[in-house]
């Protein structure tokens, strides 16, 4: 049974090459404005020069917390955080209407910035947006369990401006809009001019990269040279082999049929995938034979549990045993605990190998021979905190690119969504 599960999640090197090929095809189709699972959204910003300077406000909305920050840019590639406030979003801001969400945001900006002199604000809005300029963009659809009414199809910067006006905040100019992925690339690139890719591996997952303007044929600029960052929205890539567990997860999700890569890779879903496998093993009488009611509730097995279990190096998996007791398994056998750990490793390894394949596709899109150095700015708890995810991504890239893998450096870029928004606001000032 375990071998069968392992085989269903396994990706051979040949299958990885096929993923790369399909991903490249979808990228090219998206850049041409043709049918593609990848939106390939122009971000209307290029890599910073590193000479941008001044003090800027960053607004970061991408999950259950709202952050308002202020950064100082010294014009020599260094961004320093001056101040930060974090606010938990009430449920009516996640499930309510636009006036509740943007009214809340404006009120917190008012609390944060009390001075009268002009300030420029960069807005990190980490949801799928079709940008029309550096400081405007229309929400395509919500994800991450958000379902705020009256925002889809609207310019989110315009909604923010109207809320600021209602709060009588007249000294803040929203000069830039970006998502967290673009912000992460820009934050690293402020000091590192080898940085041309940004990736998020956390609750959700996405990537962006620096593209030649002439190749973004759906965007008519009239310019014969230059570059622009493109937001791939790679979580929706759908040319992937699915297991029965992926099918069940997708069918019971809030957005069946979409975000297929994200459902195989991101922290929001990996724990649920592992739960579905464990539940199946329990139904077959292979695992926790006396605990038939365990893990019946969706999302009851979190991705952070996987991290703890996979990091457990004790001879009797005592940390895993302690966690299982907390989850209701009073008398687990060592055999059970080893089984659980193996399932977690199978699920997270596939996530890392898919991630490595699509990242390699992006690098090869920029530089087909991977002959130059490429810094990849990465943020997200899955990359930072999972015990083997980052290592397995690097191992897989090495297996695909061989010696050329030395030209690809994955660099943790914490808080890129904050610093990046401030830097982009300086560019858009």
Query: Which residues are marked as active site?
Result: 67, 126, 180
- Provide the CA 231 distance to its chain's centre, in angstroms: 11
CA distances from 154 to 91, 131, 158 (A): 21, 11, 8
Q: Which three-class secondary structure state does DSSP give residue 305?
A: helix
Residue 252: left if φ>0, alpha if ψ -120 to 50, beta else—which one? alpha
CA distances from 280 to 311, 327, 339 (A): 24, 17, 13
Q: Which tokens is 422 given?
A: 């401030």
Q: Which residues contact 229 (CB under 8 A, 6 or more apart)?
A: 42, 43, 45, 46, 47, 182, 185, 186, 198, 208, 209, 210, 211
Q: Are 148 and 97 in contact (CB under 8 A)?
A: yes
Q: Which three-class secondary structure state does DSSP give residue 20?
A: helix
DSSP β-ladder status, 136-139 and 408-412: unpaired
Q: Are 108 and 85 in contact (CB under 8 A)?
A: yes
Nearest to 216 by CA among 46, 337, 333, 344: 46
Q: Which tokens is 426 given?
A: 């300086």
Based on its alpha-carbon atoms, the radius of gyration of the chain, rounded to whole angstroms, reads: 22
Q: How far apart are CA 186 and CA 250, in angstroms?
A: 33
End-to-end CA distance of the chain: 59
């Amino acid at each position: 049974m375990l071998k069968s599960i392992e085989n269903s999640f396994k990706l051979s090197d040949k299958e990885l090459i096929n993923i790369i090929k399909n991903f490249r095809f979808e990228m090219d189709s998206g850049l041409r404005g043709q049918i593609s699972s990848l939106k390939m959204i122009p971000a209307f910003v290029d890599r910073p020069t590193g000479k941008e300077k001044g003090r800027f406000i960053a607004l970061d909305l991408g999950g259950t917390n709202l952050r308002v920050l202020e950064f100082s840019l010294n014009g020599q590639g260094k961004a320093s955080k001056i101040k930060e406030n974090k606010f938990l979003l009430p449920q009516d801001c996640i499930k309510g209407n636009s006036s509740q969400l943007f009214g809340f945001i404006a009120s917190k900006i008012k609390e944060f910035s009390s001075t009268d002199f002009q300030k420029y604000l960069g807005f990190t809005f980490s949801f799928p947006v079709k940008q029309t300029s550096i400081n405007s963009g229309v929400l395509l659809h919500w994800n991450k369990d958000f379902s705020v009414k009256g925002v889809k199809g609207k310019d989110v910067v315009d909604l923010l401006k109207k809320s600021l006006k209602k709060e009588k905040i007249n000294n803040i100019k929203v000069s830039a809009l970006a998502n967290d992925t673009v912000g992460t690339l820009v934050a690293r690139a402020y000091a590192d001019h080898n940085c041309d890719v940004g990736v998020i591996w956390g609750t959700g997952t996405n990537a962006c990269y620096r593209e030649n303007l002439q190749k973004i044929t759906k965007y008519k600029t009239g310019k014969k040279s230059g570059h622009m960052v493109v937001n791939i929205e790679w979580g929706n890539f759908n040319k992937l082999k699915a297991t029965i567990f992926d099918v069940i997860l997708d069918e019971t999700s809030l957005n069946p049929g979409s975000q297929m890569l994200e459902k195989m890779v991101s922290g929001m879903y990996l724990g649920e995938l592992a739960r579905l496998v464990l539940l199946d093993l329990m139904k077959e009488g292979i695992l926790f034979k006396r605990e038939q009611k365990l893990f019946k509730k969706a999302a009851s097995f979190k991705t952070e549990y996987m991290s703890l279990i996979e990091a457990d190096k004790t001879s009797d998996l005592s940390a895993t045993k302690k966690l299982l007791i907390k989850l209701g398994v009073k008398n687990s056998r060592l055999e059970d605990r080893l089984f659980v750990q193996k399932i977690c490793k199978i699920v997270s390894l596939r996530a890392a190998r898919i991630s490595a394949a699509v990242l390699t596709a992006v690098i090869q899109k920029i530089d087909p021979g991977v002959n130059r150095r490429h810094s990849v700015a990465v943020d997200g708890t899955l990359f930072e905190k999972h015990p083997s995810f980052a290592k397995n991504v690097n191992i897989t890239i090495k297996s695909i690119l061989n010696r050329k893998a030395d030209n690809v450096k994955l660099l943790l870029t914490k808080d890129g969504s904050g610093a990046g928004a401030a830097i982009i606001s300086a560019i858009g000032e």
